[in-house]
Amino acid sequence: MADASRIHPLAGRKVANPAVTLTPAEPAARLSLRARPDAVAALSKALGVKLPEMPKRSATSKSGGRAALWLGPDEWLVIDTAGGDPLADCAKVKALHSAVDISHRNTAILVEGKGAEATLSAGCPQDLSLTVFPVGACSRTILGKIEVVIWRTGETAFRVECWRSFSAYAFDFLEEAARDAPIAA
Amino acid sequence: MTAAFRTTAAGRLKGAKPVKISFDGASYAALEGDTLASALLANGVHLMGRSFKYHRPRGVLSAGAEEPNALVGIHRDAARKTPNVRATVQEVYDGLTAVSQNRWPSLAFDVGAVNDIASPMFSAGFYYKTFMWPKAAWKSVYEPTIRASAGLGVAPDKPDPDHYASRYAHCDVLVLGGGAAGLSAALAAAETGARVIIADEQPAVGGALRFETGSTIDSAAGWDWAQATAVKLAAMDNVRVLTRTTAFGYYAQNMVGLVERVSDHLADPGHDLPRERLWQVRAKRVIIATGAIERHMVFDGNDKPGVMLASAGRTYLNHFGVLVGKNVGVFTASDSAYAAAIDLKQAGASIAAIVDLRDNPAGPLIDQARALGIEILSGRTLVRASGNLRVASMTVRATSGGPERTIPVDALLMSAGWTPSVHLFSQSRGKVAFDSATRRFLPGDYAQDCVSVGACSGTDTLADTVKDAVAAGEKAAKAAGLAKTVGTKVKAETSESWAGGMVGAAPGAGPDTTGKAFVDFQNDVTAKDIRLAVREGMRSIEHVKRFTTNGMATDQGKTSNIHGLAIAAEALGKEMPEVGLTTFRAPYTPVTFGSLVNHSKGRLFDPTRRTPFHAQEEKLGAVFEDVGQWKRAWYYPRAGEDMHAAVNRECATVRKAAGIFDASTLGKIEVVGPDAAKFMELMYTNPWEKLESGRCRYGIMLREDGFIYDDGVVGRLAADRFHVTTTTGGAARVMNHMEDYLQTEFPHLDVWLTSISEQWAVIAVQGPKSRDIIAPLVEGIDMSDGAMPHMSVREGKICGVPTRLFRMSFTGERGFEINVPADYAAAVWDAVWAQGQKHGACAYGTEAMHVLRAEKGYIIVGQDTDGTVTPQDAGLDWAVGKKKTDFVGIRGLKRPDLVAKGRKQLVGLRTKDPKVVLEEGAQIVADPKQPIPMKMLGHVTSSYWSENCGRSIALGVVTGGFERMGQTLYVPMPDKVIEVEVVGQVFFDEKGERLHG
């Protein structure tokens, strides 16, 4: 039998300079969750996360190991980094919804440091300033030529989710962009 | 050593570090803070270039970004050779190497200058008229020759080694221009707490305060106030001050493009600094404070080196400490030039005379000039400037005519007044309005959330400028949502005014004269050329501009547009606004390709997508092909094999034992919800309601017009869940197509779509041994034919990880497609590969996949179809649900032309000579002897050598193809005609027994 441990598409890559670090995120369980407003309460309860109903908002579980990111009026990205099984949790919910496992479709890059915002601003046209995009804010948007989900996990920390085969481009882009972060804030 | 024209009487570079620069091989002393232009002028060098068309000697006209003449090449190293750099903008650094352009063999002696003598041949529009015959010579002789002898610098011939940074930025108030107006507005806005970005193209803020030394702001010298204000702004958390930063484009919804020159002014920029940084700023409000550009006077010889704008002469003196001459003449139609004459006189130069078109100029500056003993020749015009490589004299007479007087000079300053810089306003789609009192165009109707303040909106005095700017800054902040008003106060005083001036040709350069009075220096357009355009019938400025090329050079007519318009208007006997003003377009000044391309080069040119099996395939020696953004394994050559041999072996092995193929790039969509089957019924031609869970079906998707859009195998996982596959190229657009219909046409359905293309990596194992290879690795799935027949799908485990195992085939063999979560993919591949080795399997690539499916007549959407092929045309009638009453494309399929006879239909083509492989795309005819152009019946869509069939095989679309079975048709090629027989689409295992065997 094969070893069933997950291989990160960006395994071994790392960038660190005085302003910003880029690190491939640990493997996570992910769910694309689709539901109408009448199912939100039941799904929130099952997941242990109150599904946000406002644009660009995220919510996390009490333990912090699970988060739900608002991506659209009926769409959330659920990320579990604590070894949970959100798909199984949703399976218990009778209310109408669609839960699809995308744990391996996405991968993530952690962009951290005082130059994190500047690094992302090289390729993301959105306003990522702390006032407009505060801690917990998230958005499906673009980075250079690809689609990403940007989630601010701290004042100087972001998680960038992208599709697996675009992760090399995302990392390469951020690596280029990171060069400028120590030079101009 | 101090340069000869450097003075201690004025300037701000005192104590600056001395540096050495070189121009055309000669070394010159310069000071840090100089521009290339100021450094050369300090050394008495006025000749800096040759003009575009006539190769006339040229010096600097200006001291700024509007410079049309002094364009040079800057050569840092073999790869870094930047042409057409404005010497007035390029800052010096130690070791700066500049070369002149558009001259041969040397700047002082240029053979091309013969064009000047032969200039009657090269009048406006000459290339439309002169080189008409023989027609063929235009492409081969005339155009190449003209292009080689006209023109500017030489483009670098090596890849650009520099990197460029990029930044999106957002703010409440964006201020464009860091002069008195911009700084006042920025300060007022910033003090409310608004997020402010202020950009200025110069190395330091200050704008006209750089030369206007008589101004006082908040009790400080204007320049000092500007620097202190910039420091104050930069220290505020809510403000970003960008210098060396040009706002080059004003786009929709207050998006402004800025380019910041980060390291072009440094001797050793090092590896880390980008050369330039592109800023794309989205601002709630924009304040345009771009000032005004001084106009030259239009007279014969106004392009001689040493003849320049009065403000330029003043900048070189008051900022750089450089005297542009020691015996300076002045020609003016406004007060501004008097200030220049006064400053130069006080710095020790002698002023030969001020020639003023006005009969009775009056005011404090005129009084001051008189008091300094400067001769003022009022009511006079300057008919000619003379000199060879530098101006040597000016010839003056009364505006009304009469005797001429020639006065020796070594420099000549001129001012026809100031043109408000409405470029960015115009780019914002604002409409300019003509102010007939001052004969200038000013911002009129605004199209975006912006406002113009200061000289660019026609405010002529400094006090009014800062007052208006402060108000604009506060108002913009308030409009952007800032409630607080601080009541910023800025107080300015000056004795100078920018009012007045004239437009068009000076008296003495009128229609009856023959001299070269330049309107557009960069494109060598004279007043005479403009008049010629009018005589040739041009009535609109748009036509005059294109006929003469006035204003069409890289300087975008910053100094020439208004003069050109005025001369055309006079010749037409119309008012200027009736002739029109051309629209200003981005970029304001030239922008490097590097900054625009930015990160999108090399590995970031376009995303390169690799499947989770890429490393495994590389290890097996795969040759990859590009399929969209994907790298796909094309074939796997072994030692001594070429592509042909490898593909033949792969194809044979699949049918003999088994083949292992990476099918991960196929699009996959999970369709979930109680109405999933209903939705599938609407999106595909096939019936889905009755498909049992665990079974698969080949589906065809049409566009509304009835033509095939995509195809793929769909597995039903549960009553409310489908696993849909699409073509590789169709993955994204099929998802969008389905989502589009779901949201706009079928919103009543309870169903959702999720792309799972990259969740599941796919290993296809195809061939008689496929089950034997996989079975030992699989848990929880009965793979027997009875339990898992062809076209079924099961969920279970493989190698201990979850799998969606499909039994399906794109080869005609028994086959499986193993879907596994992508992060586990490599481990599963290794296990499958090891099993495959036991059974004589090989890896096969996309080329073998193509051959194998063609042997079975399976189509590839986009290769055998081209957007005009219906299911019927492709022989896939069976896949259209006959009892269905609705699906996307059902009405399209009933169009008369789609059901008419004689449509092109997909058939097999067998060459009479089995060794001949047809060319894909080759045309098919019934009679090869008919005269050209022949009647085409169709073309070859797929063609291969088939090792399994022992002959060539091909598919093609042929008019009425299904009724031509057995007919002989012809494929004419350049060297021969190939005979083919029309046959069915299937070349191998026609009964399809191997799928189950």
Confidence grade of residue B144 (pLDDT, cut at 50, 70, 90): confident
Average pLDDT over residues A44-52: 98
Confidence grade of residue B136 (pLDDT, cut at 50, 70, 90): confident
Min distance B777 CA to chain A CA atoms (Å): 7
User: What does the pLDDT look like over B567-610, one tens digit per residue?
Assistant: 999 999 999 999 988 789 999 999 999 999 999 999 999 999 99
Q: Please identify, in words, the CATH class of the domain defined by B503-587.
A: mainly alpha
Instruction: With CA atoms as reference, report the closest residue to B48 among B263, B383, B245, B324.
Output: B324
Q: Is A100 on the interface with B (CB under 8 A)?
A: yes
The domain made up of B855-995 has a fold known as Gyrase A; domain 2 (3.30.1360)
Average pLDDT over residues B344-364: 97
B604 interaction partners in chain A (CB closer than 8 Å): 144-145, 169, 172-173, 176
Kindly list the strands in the beta sheet with B376-378, ordered across the sheet, starting from the edge strand earlier in the chain: B307-309, B411-415, B327-332, B350-356, B376-378
Is A4 within 8 Å of B756 when comparing Cβ atoms?
Answer: no
Q: What is the DSSP string of B157-174?
A: -S------EEEEEEEEEE
Instruction: With CA atoms as reference, report the closest residue to A34 among A9, A51, A12.
Output: A51
Q: What integer best gives the mean pLDDT of chain B?
A: 95
Is B170 within 8 Å of A180 when comparing Cβ atoms?
Answer: no
Is A122 within 8 Å of B167 when comparing Cβ atoms?
Answer: yes
Question: Strand B196-199 relative to strand B239-242: parallel, antiparallel, unpaired?
Answer: parallel
Q: Which two tokens stand for residue A78?
A: 């659920």
Q: What is the DSSP string of B719-757?
A: TTEEEEEE-TTTHHHHHHHHHHHHHHT-TTS--EEEE-T
Q: What is the DSSP letter of B588?
A: S
C-alpha to C-alpha distance for B459 and B208, rounded to whole angstroms: 14
Is B166 within 8 Å of A123 when comparing Cβ atoms?
Answer: yes
Contact, B394 vs B381, CB < 8 A?
no
Spell out the domain ranges in chain B. 1-158, 165-292+420-493, 299-415, 503-587, 667-756, 855-995
C-alpha to C-alpha distance for B812 and B633, rounded to whole angstroms: 21
Residues A29-101, CATH architecture: 2-Layer Sandwich (3.30)
Confidence grade of residue B139 (pLDDT, cut at 50, 70, 90): confident
Amino acid identity, position B160: D
Amino acid identity, position B915: K
Is B604 within 8 Å of A172 when comparing Cβ atoms?
Answer: yes
The CATH number for B299-415, chosen from 3.40.50.300, 3.50.50.60, 2.40.160.10, 1.10.150.20, is: 3.50.50.60
Is A2 within 8 Å of B824 when comparing Cβ atoms?
Answer: yes
Instruction: With CA atoms as reference, report the closest residue to B242 among B215, B281, B211.
Output: B281
B818 interaction partners in chain A (CB closer than 8 Å): none
Instruction: Look up the CATH number of domain A15-26+105-178.
Output: 3.30.1360.120
> Is B165-292+420-493 in the same CATH topology as B1-158?
no
Min distance A60 CA to chain B CA atoms (Å): 23
Closest by Cβ to A180, choosing from B274, B600, B799: B274
Is B170 within 8 Å of A127 when comparing Cβ atoms?
Answer: yes
pLDDT at B130: 62
Q: Looking at per-residue confidence, does B81 or B108 come out higher? A: B81
User: What does the pLDDT look like over B845-869, one tens digit per residue?
Assistant: 999 999 999 999 999 999 999 999 9
How many other C-beta atoms are found inside a 10 Å radius of the C-beta of residue B858?
A: 20
User: What does the pLDDT look like over B267-287, one tens digit per residue?
Assistant: 999 888 999 999 999 999 999
Spell out the SS3 assignment of chain A. CCCCCCCCCCCCCCEECCCCEEEECCCCEEEEEEECHHHHHHHHHHHCCCCCCCCCCEEECCCCCEEEEEEECCEEEEEECCCCCHHHHHHCCCCCEEEEECCCCEEEEEEECCCHHHHHHCCCCCCCCCCCCCCCCEEEEEECCEEEEEEEEECCEEEEEEEHHHHHHHHHHHHHHHCCCCCCC
pLDDT at B126: 65
Chain B residue whose CA is closest to A1: B799
Enumerate residues 794 to 813 of chain B having a beta carbon within 8 A of any beta carbon in chain A: 799-801
How many other C-beta atoms are found inside a 10 Å radius of the C-beta of residue B723?
A: 21
Spell out the domain ranges in chain A. 15-26+105-178, 29-101
Rounded to an integer, what is the distance from CA B555 to the centroid of its chain? 19
Which of A164, A171, A174, A183 would best serve as a mutation to test chain B binding (most B beta carbons within 10 A)? Answer: A164
Q: Which two tokens stand for residue A10?
A: 């960006």
User: What does the pLDDT look like over B198-238, one tens digit per residue?
Assistant: 999 999 999 999 999 989 999 999 999 999 999 999 999 99
A169 interaction partners in chain B (CB closer than 8 Å): 603-604, 607-608
State the Cα angle at B274 between B271 and B275, rounded to 5°.
Answer: 105
pLDDT at A135: 98
Enumerate residues 636 to 695 of chain B having a beta carbon within 8 A of any beta carbon in chain A: 670, 672-674
Let me know if domain B667-756 sits in CATH 3.40.190.10. Answer: no
Residue in this structure with the two tokens 């590097």, named with its chain if needed: B594
Chain A residue whose CA is closest to B676: A98
Closest by Cβ to A4, choosing from B599, B752, B801: B801
Contact, B294 vs B417, CB < 8 A?
yes
Question: Strand B71-75 relative to strand B49-50: parallel, antiparallel, unpaired?
Answer: unpaired
C-alpha to C-alpha distance for B328 and B317, rounded to whole angstroms: 13
How many other C-beta atoms are found inside a 10 Å radius of the C-beta of residue B123?
A: 15
Confidence grade of residue B143 (pLDDT, cut at 50, 70, 90): confident
A109: which strand partners?
Answer: A24, A160
Which of B162, B163, B164, B166 would best serve as a mutation to test chain A binding (most A beta carbons within 10 A)? Answer: B166
Min distance A146 CA to chain B CA atoms (Å): 8
- Whether the ω angle into residue B933 lies within 30 degrees of 0, i.e. cis, is yes
Q: What is the DSSP string of B529-567?
A: HHHHHHHTT--SHHHHHHHH-TT-STTTTTTTHHHHHHH
Q: What is the pTM of this model?
A: 0.95
Is A104 within 8 Å of B280 when comparing Cβ atoms?
Answer: no
Min distance B789 CA to chain A CA atoms (Å): 26
Q: What is the DSSP letter of B934?
A: P
Closest by Cβ to B752, choosing from A2, A98, A125: A98
Question: Strand A146-154 relative to strand A157-163: parallel, antiparallel, unpaired?
Answer: antiparallel
Is A122 within 8 Å of B195 when comparing Cβ atoms?
Answer: no
Let me know if domain B165-292+420-493 sits in CATH 3.50.50.60. Answer: yes
Contact, B892 vs B869, CB < 8 A?
no
Min distance B132 CA to chain A CA atoms (Å): 47
User: What does the pLDDT look like over B669-707, one tens digit per residue?
Assistant: 999 999 999 999 999 999 999 999 999 999 999 999 999
pLDDT of B984 higher than 60: yes
Q: Please identify, in words, the CATH class of the domain defined by B1-158.
A: alpha beta
User: What does the pLDDT look like over B51-72, one tens digit per residue?
Assistant: 988 999 999 999 999 999 999 9
C-alpha to C-alpha distance for A28 and A26, rounded to whole angstroms: 6
Average pLDDT over residues A39-48: 98
Contact, B260 vs B277, CB < 8 A?
yes
Closest by Cβ to B609, choosing from A7, A166, A179: A166
Confidence grade of residue B133 (pLDDT, cut at 50, 70, 90): low
Q: Which two tokens stand for residue A74?
A: 């009926």
User: What does the pLDDT look like over A57-110, one tens digit per residue?
Assistant: 999 999 999 999 999 999 999 999 999 999 999 999 999 999 999 999 999 999
B282 interaction partners in chain A (CB closer than 8 Å): 125, 127
Chain A residue whose CA is closest to B671: A98
- Whether the ω angle into residue B68 lies within 30 degrees of 0, i.e. cis, is no
Contact, B828 vs B646, CB < 8 A?
no
Is A2 within 8 Å of B830 when comparing Cβ atoms?
Answer: yes
Is B672 within 8 Å of A100 when comparing Cβ atoms?
Answer: yes
pLDDT at B320: 98
Q: Is B282 on the interface with A (CB under 8 A)?
A: yes
Closest by Cβ to A122, choosing from B166, B272, B760: B166
Spell out the SS3 assignment of B787-836. CCCCCEEEEEEECCEEEEEEECCCCCCCEEEEEEEHHHHHHHHHHHHHHH
Residue B823 CB burial class (10 angstroms; 0-12, 13-18, ≥19): buried
Chain A residue whose CA is closest to B631: A165
Is A2 within 8 Å of B801 when comparing Cβ atoms?
Answer: yes
Chain A residue whose CA is closest to B602: A172
* Number of inter-chain CB pairs under 8 A, A vs B: 152
Element (H, E) at B941: strand B938-946
What end-to-end distance do the CA atoms of chain B give, in Å? 95
State the Cα angle at B228 between B227 and B231, rounded to 5°.
Answer: 90
Q: Is A11 on the interface with B (CB under 8 A)?
A: no
Could you tell me if the ipTM is greater than 0.90?
yes
Q: What is the DSSP letter of B141?
A: I
Confidence grade of residue B781 (pLDDT, cut at 50, 70, 90): very high
Report the b/e string of B214-241 with b at 16+ CB within 10 A.
bbbbbeeebbebbbebbeebeeeebbbb
Contact, B318 vs B324, CB < 8 A?
no
Is A168 within 8 Å of B752 when comparing Cβ atoms?
Answer: no
Chain A residue whose CA is closest to B752: A98
Q: Is A122 on the interface with B (CB under 8 A)?
A: yes
Confidence grade of residue B483 (pLDDT, cut at 50, 70, 90): confident
Is B170 within 8 Å of A132 when comparing Cβ atoms?
Answer: yes
Instruction: With CA atoms as reference, report the closest residue to B274 among B287, B259, B290, B257.
Output: B259
User: What does the pLDDT look like over B736-768, one tens digit per residue?
Assistant: 999 999 999 999 999 999 999 999 999 999 999
User: What does the pLDDT look like over B524-559, one tens digit per residue?
Assistant: 999 999 999 999 999 999 999 999 999 999 999 999
